Structure 1
Amino acid sequence: MSFLHLVTIVVDEYDPAIEFFVDVLGFDLVEDSPSLTNDGRPKRWVVVRPPGGQTGILLAQADGPAQAAAVGNQAAGRVAFFLRVDDFDHAYERMVAAGVEFVTEPRTEPYGRVVVFLDVAGNRWDLLGPAGSG
Structure 2
Amino acid sequence: MVYLQLTAIIVEDYDEAIAFFTGVLGFELAEDSPSLTNDGRPKRWVVVRPPGAQTGILLAQADGDDQRAAIGNQHAGRVGFFLRVDDFDASYQQMRAAGVEFVTEPRTEPYGRVVVFRDIAGNRWDLLG
Q: Under a length normalisation based on structure 1, what TM-score does the superposition of the two structures give?
A: 0.96
Cα distance in 2, alignment partners of residues 51 and 91 from structure 1 = 14
Q: How far does the alpha carbon of each residue in 1:51-97 deviate from its partner, in whole angstroms, 9 at most, with x for none?
A: 11110000000000110011000000000000000000010000000
Cα distance in 1, alignment partners of residues 104 and 53 from structure 2 = 26
% same residue: 78
Structure 1 unaligned spans of 5+: 130-134
Q: Under a length normalisation based on structure 2, what TM-score does the superposition of the two structures give?
A: 0.99
2:93 equivalent to 1:93: yes
Cα distance in 2, alignment partners of residues 103 and 17 from structure 1 = 20
Greater than 3 Å deviation, 4+ residue runs: none
Indicate the residue corresponding to 2:116 in structure 1.
116
Any residues of structure 2 matched to 1:66-77 within 5 Å, and which? 66-77=66-77
Cα distance in 2, alignment partners of residues 4 and 51 from structure 1 = 16
2:56 equivalent to 1:56: yes
Cα distance in 1, alignment partners of residues 126 and 105 from structure 2 = 11
2:42 equivalent to 1:42: yes
Aligned residue identity for 1:24:
V
Aligned residue identity for 2:50:
P
Cα distance in 1, alignment partners of residues 24 and 115 from structure 2 = 16
Q: Give the length in aligned residue pairs.
A: 129
